[in-house]
Structure 1
Amino acid sequence: MSVSTSSPENGPEMEGSEGKEGIAVVTVDFPPVNALPADGWFALADALRAAGRDPRVRCVVLAAEGRGFNAGVDIKEIQARGTSALVAANRGCFEAFAAVYECAVPVVAAVHGFCLGGGIGLVGNADIIVASEDAAFGLPELDRGALGAATHLARLVPQHLMRALYYTSRTVSAAELHRHGSVWQVVPREELRSAALELAHEIAAKDGELLRLAKSAINGIDPVDIRRSYRFEQGFTYEASAVGVADRVRDTFGTSSGGTQ
């Protein structure tokens, strides 16, 4: 698994971004579906916080390689290690989601393919979302023995639609989220990275100190305490595990990975 950060100062590692001063790209690459183990969530949190601390950075692009943006946590790790892995995954997701929200500079999420479970936690906390035409967003948690990230899905869609998506485990397209105003732009997949970088470049052209103040100000007027809300949800995830219902549902999911928090 790799979580890498590139910036203009690193040269050609930042694909398609030469000369875009002030932009850092944090890229997740964990085949086959970017379903992250606990350590991966902590690594992602560290990369995002480090990018935000860099005074040269004025905007972060969060992207992924492979078949999709993110498929949640690695269910196989939880099945193999039990409660300790569940606690570690919960803590890792909590830190990664918070690192997006609390990043000192704006975060642009570049989303392709599937964005499920923990992926919703990431993009729901991002400042702006650019998505490819094939992107699909959803919380399959009830099908996978878990709960969580309704806090973040509620930032993407209206309340009643959030509930319908949560209870049915259905996904919603990038085009529909664009109609709701939560996705900034929908582009062909091959244009996703360049579109995200173009937007990041426009943001990064602003004064860096003022951008950081703006990010703090906007977070400060948020009507929902994101950390507290998500932590409340996590308590029910743990309760489902403690009483055995999580294992009962998870065992029917099979041996594939992804999709819980």
Structure 2
Amino acid sequence: MGISSSHTENGIIEITIDYPPVNAVPVRGWFELAEAVTGAGRDPRARVVVLRAGNRGFCAGVDLKEIQRSPGFEALIGANRGCAKAFAAVYDCEVPVVVAVHGFCLGGGVGLVGNSDIVVASDDATFGLPEVDRGALGAATHLARLVPQHLMRTLFYTARTVSAHTLHHHGSVYEVVPRERLDDAAREIAGDVARKDPAVIRAAKEAINGIDPQRVHQSYRFEQGFTFELNLTGVPDHARQAFLDGNHARQANDG
């Protein structure tokens, strides 16, 4: 359980997120993910990184239980900084990052996907930011890289989700495949990248980031400032607890 990495002979490094059951990532996990992605990019053998996940969905965002049971703002600040580190690591990785998304991709998951280079998704994948319902802000920066401006605003204000097919229509998801084909599809496109000259690909990654019109690091940290400001009011604490209580009630009914 946690963040793991594996190497293949053709220069592909696979990094897996594994926090059962829904991949709600704790503070430490975000920092470990950042270290894994950064380390993979610096590995001279690496030509491309595949970011994938186990369990029921790609990522449910931050671990709200950890934040709720931690006194003061220590866990909140840790989650803010950890997410910023992980998202930045994906964006700044010295080689392209292919992300394979299944099930739900929420909150911090959108941050990872929005900063990646190539997105492959299963046909059951959905994407969304429930932040407003949790009394928080953040990752609109990254959602704006996946959908047009007005759709981003609608999704952000309403906390609704969109399907992988919708993102494929807008061009941000490269391919939508059946769930059982997801890993193979991600490895296939990663293999195409890995067969290119590694020096050229590394230069291409740096060049593309250099012409990016959106300053993702700065804009995301700007958003996070409002999250912390809202937490000073106490409103998000009640919103998070209501969500956790609702989940607990649903699980009890399902049992």
TM-score after normalising by structure 2 = 0.95
1:116 pairs with one of 76, 101, 106: 106
Q: CA deviation at 1:195?
A: 0.3
- AA partner of residue 213 (structure 1): A
- AA partner of residue 30 (structure 2): W
2:46 pairs with one of 20, 37, 57: 57
Task: State how far apart, in whole Å, the 2-side matches of 1:42 and 1:25 are.
Answer: 17
Q: CA deviation at 1:142?
A: 0.9
Q: Tell me, what secondary structure is at the counterpart of 2:4?
A: strand
Q: CA deviation at 1:248?
A: 2.6
Task: State how far apart, in whole Å, the 2-side matches of 1:8 and 1:150 are.
Answer: 34
Is structure 2 residue 45 aligned with structure 1 residue 35? no
* Matching residue of 1:12: none
Task: State how far apart, in whole Å, the 2-side matches of 1:97 and 1:28 are.
Answer: 14
Can you list the C-alpha shifts for 1:130-182, whole angstroms capped at 9, x where unaligned? 00000000001111121100000000000000000001100000000000000
- AA partner of residue 195 (structure 1): A
Can you list the C-alpha shifts for 1:58-86, whole angstroms capped at 9, x where unaligned? 10000000100000000001001141000
Q: CA deviation at 1:197?
A: 0.1
Moved over 2 A (4+): 254-257
Structure 1: 5+ residue stretches without partners: 10-20
Please say which of residues 118-127 and 242-251 is displaced more in the overlay: 242-251
* Matching residue of 2:60: 71
Task: State how far apart, in whole Å, the 2-side matches of 1:120 and 1:234 are.
Answer: 15
Task: State how far apart, in whole Å, the 2-side matches of 1:171 and 1:130 are.
Answer: 17
Task: State how far apart, in whole Å, the 2-side matches of 1:250 and 1:4 are.
Answer: 29
Task: State how far apart, in whole Å, the 2-side matches of 1:233 and 1:143 are.
Answer: 16
* Matching residue of 1:14: none
* Matching residue of 2:199: 209
Identity fraction in percent: 65
1:245 pairs with one of 229, 235, 242: 235
* Contact 2:147-2:170 within 8 A present in 1 as well: yes
Can you list the C-alpha shifts for 1:78-119, whole angstroms capped at 9, x where unaligned? 001141000000000000000000000000000000000000
Number of residue equivalences:
246
- Alpha carbon RMSD of aligned pairs, Å? 1.0
Q: CA deviation at 1:251?
A: 2.4
Alignment of 1:85-100 (within 5 A): 85-100=75-90
